[in-house]
């Protein structure tokens, strides 16, 4: 889980993530610091390979009272298609389950073919369109 000592690691990782489709919040050092020092039920995770942060994941919405958290995941641009996104998704599923959720949701741009392929391979089901993006659910 991202904590106060992770703010610089998170800032560096956010700077290395392609924000073409992944824009859940500002990808700035100030936002990394806010995330690292925040309190609440929402979860933010870092995934490491060889002691280097390569993946970022989040479960948000609990702090606003939603029973089903929204999931987000991103991998460093230079480390994509190596299984880190899938590993982060599985870690987020486990974290959601351990925090009492029985499902998660996400939104994905229909043009993000790689992400859609990953989500479908994990068993996510399309449910609706919201703000021009496909909403998908996964039962834990």
- What is the span of the domain harbouring residue 36? 4-101
* Residue 125 falls inside a structural domain: no
Mean pLDDT of the region 110-128: 97
Q: What is the pLDDT of residue 11?
A: 98
Overall domain count for the chain:
1
pTM over 0.75: yes
Residue 19 corresponds to which tokens in the numbers above? 């924000």
- Domain annotation covers residue 21: yes
| 5-30 confidence digits (pLDDT tens) | 999 999 999 999 999 999 999 999 99
> Is position 86 within any domain?
yes
Residue 123 lies in a domain: no
CB contact at 8 A, 70 and 105: yes
Measured at the CA of 50, the angle between CA 48 and CA 51, to 5 degrees, comes to: 60
Share of the chain above pLDDT 70, in %: 100
In-domain check, residue 139: no
Alpha helices in 45-137 (DSSP H): 84-98, 113-122
Rounded-to-integer distance, Cα 114 and Cα 64, Å: 30
Instruction: Tell me if 118 is assigned to some domain.
Output: no
Q: What is the CATH number of the domain that holds 26?
A: 3.40.630.30
Does residue 16 belong to any structural domain of this protein?
Answer: yes
Within-domain flag for 39: yes
């Amino acid at each position: 889980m991202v904590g106060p000592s992770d703010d610089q690691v998170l800032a560096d990782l956010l700077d290395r993530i392609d924000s073409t489709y992944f824009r859940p919040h500002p990808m700035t050092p100030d936002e990394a610091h806010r995330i690292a020092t925040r309190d609440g039920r929402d979860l933010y995770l870092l995934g490491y390979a060889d002691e280097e942060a390569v993946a970022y994941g989040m479960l948000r919405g609990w702090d606003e009272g939603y029973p089903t958290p929204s999931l987000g995941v991103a991998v460093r641009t230079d480390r994509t298609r190596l299984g880190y996104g899938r590993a982060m998704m599985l870690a987020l599923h486990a974290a959601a389950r351990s925090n009492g959720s029985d499902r998660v949701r996400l939104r994905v741009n229909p043009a993000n073919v790689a992400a859609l392929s990953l989500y479908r391979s994990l068993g996510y089901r399309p449910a609706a369109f919201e703000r021009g993006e496909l909403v998908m659910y996964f039962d834990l």
